[in-house]
Structure 1
Amino acid sequence: MPLKTHIIIGFTLLLLAISLITTASAENAVKITPTLEFVDVQHDGETIRIEREQNVENRLSNSFSKTSRACPPFCIQPANLLESVTTVAELEVLRFLDTQVKNGQGLLVDSRMPEWHEKGTIPGSVNIPFTILNKGLDSKHIVRIIELLGATQQNGKWDFSKVRDLMLFCNGPWCGQSTQAINNLAKIGYPEDKLFWYRGGMQAWQQLGLTVVIP
């Protein structure tokens, strides 16, 4: 093959490599942290990649762009719910998905009503409406849920020592659905140190351009 042809082919390959590098850099321009670009999670049997919206001109145009809602019921929630319940932000949610959820030791719970959940949720979460989690131990539904989470009953007493960690969220700092669920879970005996609250919820999640899935 003539030298000129070699040079042309080599130059073409170089341009292609530069193009691919430039494209990759552009695609990952908006990272989660300087060293974290994405987190892969399982959702409904599929691998979903959680990353940030790459369009730096993107704006919310859905209901989460609203600043004001009637209170009650949409009142601003406190930063801390209970003494031993940890309030978390987005990086802790991602770490929770990548560790506890991935290894079966935790569950990320979308505690909103189904009509809200169906509009979009955090990948890797499951929907258990707060209306179910608000029930007492006389409800077969809450009993079944805590049993699936690892609680056992002996001699009429519940043992929560081996239950999974739960991280709950709802629509945002103005939403009381997850707070009601957490308060009730603690009330029926779920260990507070195994309960985590993502206060920012769907509003903060979307404001940061993080991936949302439609169930």
Structure 2
Amino acid sequence: MRLADSGLVVIDATWGTIRPMQLADGVCTVGELEVMEHLDRGLSLIDSRPAEAYGSSTIPGARNIPHDETVERISQLDPAQPTIFFCNGPQCAASPEAIDALLTSKYPPAAIHYYRGGLHDWISLGLPTEPPSPPA
């Protein structure tokens, strides 16, 4: 995905491999309504795309932990609360890689939720995006 000069996000779904709906035992796959409810409850939403992709547009309320930094930044996650991970969409490997790394590190599967549709489905449904806030 990239931000076009017009301010619209351009989606290229011609790359990648479609990911399964269920990534791993105990990991809950969620849709858009569950993401909205999760955010309304003040829970964590992680955009696992690289920083440069996150920097152009994301789901409002998302924080960025790039998939290749997940284990080294595991202390920024709360295993007592569910965290939703997302990336570009069903064909993107970033969230599945982040989730696999967490599971390998013995992070509790019940604390991991996977928004498989990612930014692709979010935008396709006309849901809002925003430039991310600078880190605190």
TM-score by length of 1: 0.55
Match of 2:74 among 142, 146, 149: 146
Equivalence for 1:63: 10
Equivalence for 2:5: none
Equivalence for 2:24: 82
Distance in 1 separating the partners of 2:24 and 2:115: 13
Equivalence for 1:211: 128
Equivalence for 1:165: 82
After superposing on structure 2, the runs of 4+ consecutive aligned residues of structure 1 that deviate more than 6 Å are none
Between the aligned residues of both structures, percent identity stands at 38
CA contact (8 A) 2:27 2:110 kept: yes
Distance in 1 separating the partners of 2:68 and 2:13: 25
How big is the shift at 1:68?
Answer: 1.5
Are positions 1:126 and 2:68 aligned together?
no
State the SS of the aligned residue for 1:83.
coil
Kindly provide the CA deviation profile for residues 121-177 of structure 1, in whole angstroms up to 9, marking residues without a partner as x: 0011100000101x4xxxxxx2xx333434xxxxxxxxxxx5332110000001010
Instruction: Pick the structure with greater CA Rg.
Output: 1
Distance in 1 separating the partners of 2:75 and 2:47: 19
Q: Which runs of 5+ in 1 are unaligned?
A: 1-60, 136-141, 151-161
Distance in 2 separating the partners of 1:171 and 1:67: 9
How big is the shift at 1:67?
Answer: 3.8
State the SS of the aligned residue for 2:24.
coil
Match of 2:49 among 112, 126, 148: 112
State the SS of the aligned residue for 2:44.
strand
How big is the shift at 1:84?
Answer: 0.5
Equivalent AA in structure 1 for residue 129 of structure 2: V
CA contact (8 A) 2:47 2:87 kept: yes
Q: CA RMSD in A?
A: 1.5
How big is the shift at 1:194?
Answer: 0.8
Kindly provide the CA deviation profile for residues 161-200 of structure 1, in whole angstroms up to 9, marking residues without a partner as x: x533211000000101000000110110110011000000
Distance in 2 separating the partners of 1:149 and 1:89: 21
Question: Higher helix fraction: Structure 1 or Structure 2?
Answer: 1
TM-score by length of 2: 0.85
Distance in 2 separating the partners of 1:190 and 1:148: 12
